[in-house]
Chains A and B, each alone.
Chain A
Amino acid sequence: MKLLLSWLRELVDVDLPAPTLARKLIDSTAEVESWETIGADWDPERIRVAEVVAVEPHPNADRLRLATVETGAGRQQVVCGAPNLAVGQKVAFATEGALLVDGHTGERAKLKLRPIRGVESAGMVLSEKELGLSEDHEGILELPADAPVGRPLVEQLGDVVFDITTWANRADLLGVLGLAREVSAITSKVLREPDLTYAAKGPDVGALVSVSIEAPDLCPRFTASVIESVTIGPSPAWLQERLHRHGMRPINNVVDITNYVMLETGQPLHAFDFDLVRGKRIVARRATPGEHLTTLDGVDRELDGEMLVICDGEGPVGIAGTMGGGNSEVSDRTRNVLLEVANFKPGSIRRTSTRLKLRTEASLRFEKGLGPEMAEYAQRRALHLFEALTGGRIASGLVDVFPGKQPPRTIELPAARVEQVLGMTIAPDDVRRILTDLGFVCHFVPPGHYTVQPPYWRPDVAIPDDVVEDVARIYGYDKLPATHLRGPLPAPEPRPVEDLRERVRDLAVALGFQEVITYSLTEQAKLARVVEPGDARRMAPLSVVNPVAARHSFLRTSLRAGLLEAYAGNRRQHEGPLRLFEIGSEYLPVEADLPHERPVLCALLGGTREARWARAGQHRIDFYDAKGAAEALLDGLGVPASYRPEPGYGLLDGHAAVVASGKELLGVVAQVHPDTAAAFDIGEPVFLVEFWIEDLARVLPERPEYAAPSRFPEVRQDLALVVDVETPAGRVLDLVRAHRSGTVRVAAEVFDDYRGAGLPEGKKSLALAVHYRASDRTLTDDDVARIQAGLLKRLEKEIGAALRGG
């Protein structure tokens, strides 16, 4: 909604500078997005109002004329090319040195006078373009006939145009009057309402037209008036100017009046050519499904049975609250006008305009909820203008069908509620003054409550707290103190999965991974590269109806695709190792319910580290770096885990393991299959670590398994074990680690895996560092020898291991 300062000033005295007024409106009323000052650089000395007193042909040019203008400081002759120049016009006249927009180049420049085709010109009669008002350079700008000659143009035409966004519940603010009322309340200046008076000299309107409402649930009120014998013509310049500045195109005086009154009051109006209204009868009813109407914009529209149509004796002539029909449009030939000002149910108008994809100035206002009493107000205001501007004869009375008439609403507001809600007291005098300025009727009933009647233009005010808001916003939120919450603290809800998720996030960071956040929506084709084709749930992701882009059409059922994309994108920018992770949700469809949002850690790593200085060689990140990260992460959580080879979709067989703890599967460590990586434009080995947070949560120890550090020293023995090549090292380690002997604990690591010369065919040698420690004594050489012998015996029995060289 645009707001012209000049128009506002007609209704309320405003002497605040534009930024101050904007700030006050933002604080109390609506969002002021920006404002534009018209005429900021019009030199008041050099650009003034003048009157054209004579027009003669140019002696040397057919398309130019010589105009004599009265400037208030004498008459001047100018050369002018505008076709619309005429004697008696008030125009904007510039003298040498005035800063103007050049009509041809569009650049700002000072006016320099020189003879045109041999005739001196004392100045220039200006078009809108030269004043920077529009791109119109065809004709000169015509000023209102009452503009005083000699007046600086900036006083005549200068203005500030505010661009205001109002709230969805305030239709009244889509009219200058509503905004003026707010300004009046904010600044405590008197509101001057527009003139609603007129003389009805025509016949009784009831004898001319009848109105019936067949759908009172959609149409609470319908008023109609008839203006006979109008003279269709252009509106006066001041009115056209205002429409222009609101971004509306002037059409003729009748249509312009309806638009003008809508801008002024917020209430839409519609004028019919009365002679085209068949049967002199108006019916507001639901459309018949499939019924058609060609609207004013020339589009044929099919209606449904929930849409309200305005019909004459034979059929639809308008879609209620949205757009009129072309069949009853006011034209140059119109003699008699039927003026409709009605009230419609907001939801119905909203639905209709949404279905028809037809948002109009009218529908935008109706859908926000206008008070039905506004209809009569706007009727009277329009009739005042019809009388003044069309020469028409106004029929007596109004046709007024008002099935939705309600008694005035009364709200009881306990004075204590103001403080209960706000945390500050506002004196009864202030409450009463503010509400009265806003048009409420307010009585303070001692000892402690207000009886409040909201004005009819504020249907949004329904409960006591609505009244509290109106008082508070005008009183000023700057007066609201900042206090501390009091009272008891609620008990926290346990959230084990979320807590674990954050621990895992921290561990991933501690392990050198950079967190990324990828979009939750992706493409099905990308998901298909990483999801097992047999995984019916993940292969049928939920899609969205209206994605922001086709590549964001499906709710991801795996994080891998997004992360591989992020990896590829970074690889293009970055040499060296890359370690990325994301913790986010897979959205797994559930029949007839919201999807399961399953939190997952997905990490990728790859690349080559240069050793640099003093140490030679490169280190290419491989499976064991990924596994090391997985192990460290689980170690950080205190979750014991085992790894077993298992192929996975999109993963490289023989380089993929599932991670388990007991029977619970926790995740995957694997090399991404080179084909899959290539599909994401990754040309190097890349490794995946994935953990499923909910599954991890099930095996997470409540607290670490604590044992006091032993006071007794540990004994390390290195063992070289010869085993079958197929025997996984993990199996050997499991056996060693599981070995117990009294109070002695055995810990073990593999530090070498040797195959080749010196070993029998089909065998490998694993070098183990075995640590023995007792909790109650220092182990002797004999102790260790005995335990080791037992261990070796067991290893031989279980996996046929032998001591190398033994």
Chain B
Amino acid sequence: MTAPTSALAELCADALAALASAADEAALEQWRVAWLGRQGGRVTGLLTSIKDQPADQKAAFGAEANRLKRDIEAAFAEKHEQLKRRTLRELSTTEAIDVTLPGRPQVIGRLHPVTQTLRDCVKTFGEMGFRVAEGPEVEWASYNFDAMRIPEDHPARDMWDTIWVDKLIDGERKMLLRTHTSPNQARVMERTPEPPIRVIVPGKCYRQEATDATHEWMLTQIEGLAVDEGVRMSDLKGVLYDFSRKMFGTERKIIFHHSYFPFVEPGVEMALDCFICRGEDPACHTCHGTGWIEILGAGMVHPEVIENAGYDSNRYTGFAFGIGVERVALLRWGIEDIRHFYQNDVRFLSQF
């Protein structure tokens, strides 16, 4: 009884010949259905016919048929792999794409550079334990000036050119666009029954001022205020030193020099060592050859301001500072003209 065996060999040869002629994955799939398909596949049919064999030949036939199936399956797998390789080869050769064509534009949103800088500043002070508060942009003159020890007919008012709101209350002009965030020193203390206070107040301010490359009439400030027992000017220096190194690089140096703001005593201005020319270029546009970049005003809260809040100025001391966010942004990114910020040209904004 060799017939079944030779029939199987013939079948096997047919299958392999058909397989060899399958030129692509579609032909291969056709072949697979024809030969190995669950329903009507010729090899599958062969296996189901085992049970129909005479009892004495069942075992031999079954073993033979199964071997044949394994061989054919192996050949299929090899052919499949071959074709897959070829397809992949083609993808990387004849079907290679021009990767230098631009991609499809995807939209990316960005924060305004002033917002980014503001947030970086807020985060830096936040890490030092400063809370965040806000106050009104349209402000009472009494907060903006009087509470800050800048009475009417005081020449210090020249430091802040004011835009006044055209509204009379009790026959008086009392409302203005805040010229600085400092009135929030008074506002925060007013609603804090007792220190400690450690807060920053960011927000927009306005000045009646002609604009140029370094002056803009709408500006963003961050007011800082810390009041408690044992708050010292050296702490102010420490806080601003940390801030400066976070924003402008770990090797930054800072100096304080004397200044005057009616609501602080002593009053100082802080400068950074010039990281553009390192003090070596007498014509440097950033530090004007001085080696130092003035960046913010600060000082110890005037005892009168502390007393006005109802605190004992012998017990509590405090410091305050005011940072111009646009100025920080100008410096950190080397922007040459402050007016870019509020012209809202996406060609400018999308660079940050």
Contact = CB atoms under 8 A, between A and B. Distances in A.
Interface of A: 23, 26-31, 167-170, 346-348, 350-351, 354, 364, 367-368, 419-424, 463, 465-466, 468-469, 472-473, 477-478, 480-490, 492-493, 495, 498, 505, 508-521, 542-548, 552, 555, 566, 569-570, 573-574, 576-580, 585, 587, 592, 594-595, 597, 609-613, 615
Nearest to A472: B266
Contacts of A478: 255-256
Contacts of A489: 129, 196, 198
B165 A545 contact: yes
B242 to A, nearest CB: 8
A509 B104 contact: no
B181 interface: no
A26 B256 CA distance: 10
B232 interface: yes
B265 interface: yes
B111 A515 contact: yes
Interface stretch (B27-35, B43-51, B77-85, B342-350): B342-350
Contacts of A542: 138, 165-167, 175
5 contacts: A168-B156, A465-B265, A473-B266, A520-B137, A576-B105
Given A477-B256, A493-B133, 13 more contacts: A168-B260, A347-B153, A473-B266, A478-B255, A480-B256, A489-B129, A490-B198, A546-B208, A574-B346, A579-B107, A597-B138, A612-B102, A612-B105
B109 A509 contact: yes
B320 interface: no
Contacts of A348: 153
Contacts of B136: 594, 597
Nearest to B227: A490
Interface string B185-224: 0000000100111110000101011110000011000000
B66 interface: no
B184 to A, nearest CB: 12
Interface string B147-180: 0000111111011000111110100010101000
B121 interface: no
A484 B238 contact: yes
Contacts of A611: 104
B41 to A, nearest CB: 31
A594 B158 CA distance: 24
Contacts of A487: 196, 228-231
Contact of A482 (B112, B151, B241): B241
A546 B163 contact: yes
Contacts of A28: 257-258
Contact of A517 (B159, B167, B268, B344): B344
B233 interface: yes
Closest 4 CB pairs of A and B: A423-B234, A423-B232, A512-B107, A167-B260
B164 to A, nearest CB: 4
A592 B172 CA distance: 11
Nearest to B108: A512
Interface in B312-352: 317, 341-347, 349-350
Nearest to A466: B265
A368 B155 contact: yes
Contacts of B166: 542-545
B171 to A, nearest CB: 12
A576 B151 CA distance: 54
B237 interface: yes
Contacts of B287: none
Given A495-B134, A570-B345, A27 B257 contact: yes
Given A422-B232, A516-B112, A548-B208, A490 B259 contact: no
A422 B139 CA distance: 32
A557 B209 CA distance: 23
B290 interface: yes
Given A420-B317, A489-B129, A569-B345, A548 B163 contact: yes
Contact of A587 (B105, B138, B198): B138
A315 to B, nearest CB: 26
A481 B260 contact: no
Nearest to B151: A347
Contact of B139 (A520, A594, A609, A610): A594
Contact of B218 (A420, A421, A519, A613): A519
Given A508-B109, A542-B166, A547-B163, A613 B101 contact: yes
Interface string B89-109: 000000000000110111111
Given A168-B156, A483-B235, A612-B102, A29 B349 contact: no
Contacts of A31: 259
Contacts of B155: 168, 346, 350, 364, 367-368
B239 interface: yes
Given A488-B196, A517-B344, A548-B209, A483 B234 contact: yes
B62 interface: no
A569 B344 contact: yes
Nearest to B347: A573
Contacts of B140: 594
A610 B257 CA distance: 57
Given A350-B155, A483-B234, A511 B256 contact: no
A547 B209 CA distance: 9
Interface in B233-258: 233-235, 237-239, 241, 255-258
B346 A597 contact: no
Contacts of A482: 234, 237-238, 241
B65 interface: no
Contacts of B199: 490
Nearest to A470: B266
B177 to A, nearest CB: 7
B115 interface: yes
Contacts of A30: 258
Contact of A465 (B114, B158, B303): B303
Nearest to A348: B153
B238 A168 contact: no
A506 to B, nearest CB: 8
B239 to A, nearest CB: 7
Nearest to A464: B303
Contact of B300 (A465, A484, A548): A465
Contacts of A23: 290
A168 B154 contact: yes
Given A420-B317, A486-B230, A481 B109 contact: no
B234 A481 contact: yes
A597 B173 contact: no
Given A368-B155, A465-B302, A585-B137, A477 B268 contact: yes
A492 B131 CA distance: 6
Contacts of B208: 546, 548
A168 B230 CA distance: 30
A28 B255 CA distance: 12
Contact of A169 (B164, B206, B217, B260): B260
A419 B230 CA distance: 10
A289 to B, nearest CB: 19
A505 B262 CA distance: 37
**Max chain B CB contacts within 10 Å: which of A348, A350, A478?**
A350
B277 interface: no
Contact of B109 (A498, A511, A573): A511
A437 to B, nearest CB: 15
Nearest to A170: B260
Contacts of A548: 163, 208-211, 217
